[in-house]
Structure 1
Amino acid sequence: MAKEASTVIGEPNYNRAKLWQIVLFTLNNSSTNIYMFAFGFVTYYSTGLVGLTALFVSQIMGYIRIFDGVIDPAIGVLIDKTDTKFGKYRPIMILGNIITILSFLVLFNIHGLGNGMKIPIFLLALVVHKIGYSLQATVTKAGQAALTSDPKQRPIFNIVDGWVTTLLFTGGQIVVANFLVPKYGGFTPAFFKVFIPGVMIISAILGILAVIGIAQKDNKQYFGIGEKTTKTSFKDYWEIVKGNRPLQMLTMAAAFVKFNSALFGDQVVLMILFGIIFGNFGLSGTISLVLILPSLLFTTFAATIAQKRGLRYSYVRYLQGAVISLILLGGLLFFANPGDLSFSSLSLWTIAFTIVFACAKGFTSTPTGLALTMAADVSDYETSVSGRYVSGMLSTMFSLTDSVASSFAPMSIGWILAAVGFAQAYPTADTPLSPQLRMAGIVLLSVLPLAGTMIALGFMKFYPLNKEAMEGIQAKISTMKNVGPSDDEEDEMPHAIPAMND
């Protein structure tokens, strides 16, 4: 009969990190996130400068995300099998960033190629980009299991990540919408000549700082139960995935949450909302600036709750807040018109929309950061029940479902816009508001995210790793480090633990 993972033997002996190590390693996520931000402009580059159709690009962007998910498990195994004198994680981080730089150098310079070469090189550059991006991004989740096991320290990652990500994306949106686009007359070759090198330089600097942050912890003694860790063969991976219920539930929930977050961050959706419904694309940069403080408060509050009540509790409460705010946002957009939103002369409408939009975006997007840390909990759970340390493979399972689900974001945008007459080109700031475009905006910013949130809540009902369960898991790992996993534990693979009720 299978044993429960929460079996406690002794007291936890936490592996703790210094604050500066957590802060610097957090920047690895920022290093890859800035490429995610820049990737949002591939659609305008490929349709405006390369000459591809909007529907074709939207589908390709979706398929490339699926490809990203398909290769992720292989990358996870690569990370788990990596063992060099420079550690497990640092070589992968550096390699990933170099590959991503090379892919962008090619991707944003294909407009000068002959027509017969544009599509093949475009597709090849996208594939190479996803390989490099996945290599570096996977370490963000996998490395946290080695960085710290203290449940009070792990949410610090979410606070720092939330602050840096907010400042990065807000600053990026302001620079693009309020400076680069007006200066270079839109998404022109001159725009990309300045924008893309800037992205690559910032990402490289952040990546180097992250390597410094993980350096001391990138050591075998911090991997699972150290030298006593059970060796894992390729045939063991399927059994691990099949038996790890927390992994199954959280990856599915996180996938739909990421889908929602992708919609809120997509440049085409922002163009529909601010450039067409409200008639001024520059508002996307302005509201990003206005929402800096609320976004930081959402992130900090979520991590504070997690430190006191556990990551699962905070995750579920934020999803519940998203349900209410998304319904309100859909209602406001139904009555919105160009000129209604203005920060030069505040009106009741502007105040109401800003509050509701801040809540919708905050409750919808913040859980994506929490899932990064919860992946470390899932890794520790696996160690506690099997003695194995497979943080790389487990982390890429999150990426697999995440990529497949989020691939439907650009696909959904393409399908919806094609249905309202925009199959050849995306709407721009010069496109007049129509009932069809209004409805497209409501579906993309309210209806689809609401459906995704409800599905995620359903999966989280069966995710069992609450605060008490994790305390038991850490206590068990501490004992295993001293005595090693028993033969019975390795054979029985006691993955099944009861679901927790809210």
Structure 2
Amino acid sequence: MSENAKASSVNRAKLYQLVLFPLNNGATNVYYVLVLSYIATFGSNVLALGTLFASVMVTAMRLCDAITDPIIGALMDRTNGKFGKFRPFMAIGNLIMAVSILVLYGITPMIPDTMMWARYAAFVGLYFVWVIGYTFQTSCTRSGQTVLTNDPKQRPLFTIFNTVGSLLGMGVMQFLAPILAKNYEGGYSSAGFFRTLAPVGIVMSIALT
């Protein structure tokens, strides 16, 4: 292959694309802190579920990735509408996560403690729905890099901006969480803390998306 042919086969992204697309990773990392860092505390201290139940459930639910990842990957391969291949999955995934977490953190504590079976069912069901949304959006970050650029010279730049985007989402949430916790008696074990943290994280994740 001639040098000109090689050059024409290289797909290069614009600088703003390299800077902004990795913010999608930051959007999902907001939920990484919002959910995975606090879900066990929420389940045991707010919903009064079994001490080990929340931790074991979160670990076991990761096995679902073996099922959801290939299915969502296949859907993504078949998607190429006027909004592109990844935008619909980014938007739908973020919406799924937002709704499931608002209901989980905001409404499930209202279930009476005389109906613990309902708390367990809601906790597991809503977390499973959240996992689907999380997989929708995180798959875009991994797959989008190969579509955005195949220029070896741009890959290091993408990696740098991807790291910055990831740290931005996680960093802001980790900074805000202890500040918000101080406003509630019981701190991280307070239902009020989670009702406040959830919409703050959701707004930030939407902005990054």
Give the TM-score normalised by structure 1: 0.38
Letter in 1 for 2:11: N
Report the alpha carbon displacement of residue 167 of structure 1 after superposing the two structures with TM: 3.6
Between the aligned partners of 2:120 and 2:167, the Cα distance in structure 1 is 34
Matched, 1:205 2:197: no
Between the aligned partners of 1:166 and 1:144, the Cα distance in structure 2 is 18
Letter in 2 for 1:184: Y
Report the alpha carbon displacement of residue 173 of structure 1 after superposing the two structures with TM: 1.9
Deviations 1:408-447 (A, max 9, x none): xxxxxxxxxxxxxxxxxxxxxxxxxxxxxxxxxxxxxxxx
Report the alpha carbon displacement of residue 172 of structure 1 after superposing the two structures with TM: 2.1
Report the counterpart of residue 193 of structure 1 in structure 2. Answer: 195
Runs of 5+ consecutive residues of structure 1 not aligned to the other structure: 1-8, 208-502
Report the alpha carbon displacement of residue 166 of structure 1 after superposing the two structures with TM: 2.4
Deviations 1:4-53 (A, max 9, x none): xxxxx334322111111111111111111110111111111111110112
Runs of 5+ consecutive residues of structure 2 not aligned to the other structure: none
Between the aligned partners of 1:17 and 1:191, the Cα distance in structure 2 is 41
Between the aligned partners of 1:46 and 1:36, the Cα distance in structure 2 is 16
Report the counterpart of residue 101 of structure 1 in structure 2. Answer: 98
Deviations 1:245-300 (A, max 9, x none): xxxxxxxxxxxxxxxxxxxxxxxxxxxxxxxxxxxxxxxxxxxxxxxxxxxxxxxx
Between the aligned partners of 1:52 and 1:134, the Cα distance in structure 2 is 26
Report the alpha carbon displacement of residue 136 of structure 1 after superposing the two structures with TM: 1.0
Report the counterpart of residue 184 of structure 2 in structure 1. Answer: 184
Report the counterpart of residue 139 of structure 2 in structure 1. Answer: 138
Paired residue secondary structure (2:22): helix
Q: Return the match for 1:27 from 23, 29, 32.
A: 23
Report the counterpart of residue 158 of structure 1 in structure 2. Answer: 159
Report the alpha carbon displacement of residue 85 of structure 1 after superposing the two structures with TM: 2.0
Between the aligned partners of 1:86 and 1:19, the Cα distance in structure 2 is 21
Question: Which aligned segments of 4 or more residues in structure 1 are displaced greater than 6 angstroms?
Answer: none
Q: Return the match for 1:92 from 89, 92, 98.
A: 89
Give the TM-score normalised by structure 2: 0.89
Report the counterpart of residue 342 of structure 1 in structure 2. Answer: none
Measured at CA, do residues 128 and 29 of structure 1 come closer, stay the same or move farther in structure 2, by a change above 3 Å? same
Matched, 1:122 2:123: yes
Between the aligned partners of 1:64 and 1:20, the Cα distance in structure 2 is 36
Q: Return the match for 1:67 from 57, 64, 67.
A: 64
Report the counterpart of residue 110 of structure 2 in structure 1. Answer: 112
Between the aligned partners of 1:51 and 1:194, the Cα distance in structure 2 is 19
Matched, 1:172 2:160: no
RMSD: 1.4
Letter in 2 for 1:146: V
Report the alpha carbon displacement of residue 71 of structure 1 after superposing the two structures with TM: 1.0
Count of residue correspondences = 198
Report the alpha carbon displacement of residue 198 of structure 1 after superposing the two structures with TM: 0.4
Report the counterpart of residue 83 of structure 1 in structure 2. Answer: 80
Between the aligned partners of 2:200 and 2:142, the Cα distance in structure 1 is 26
Report the counterpart of residue 48 of structure 1 in structure 2. Answer: 45
Report the counterpart of residue 149 of structure 1 in structure 2. Answer: 150
Letter in 2 for 1:136: Q
Between the aligned partners of 2:122 and 2:57, the Cα distance in structure 1 is 13
Paired residue secondary structure (1:143): helix
Between the aligned partners of 2:75 and 2:168, the Cα distance in structure 1 is 32
Identity in percent: 36
Report the alpha carbon displacement of residue 170 of structure 1 after superposing the two structures with TM: 2.8
Deviations 1:92-118 (A, max 9, x none): 111111111111112112111132311
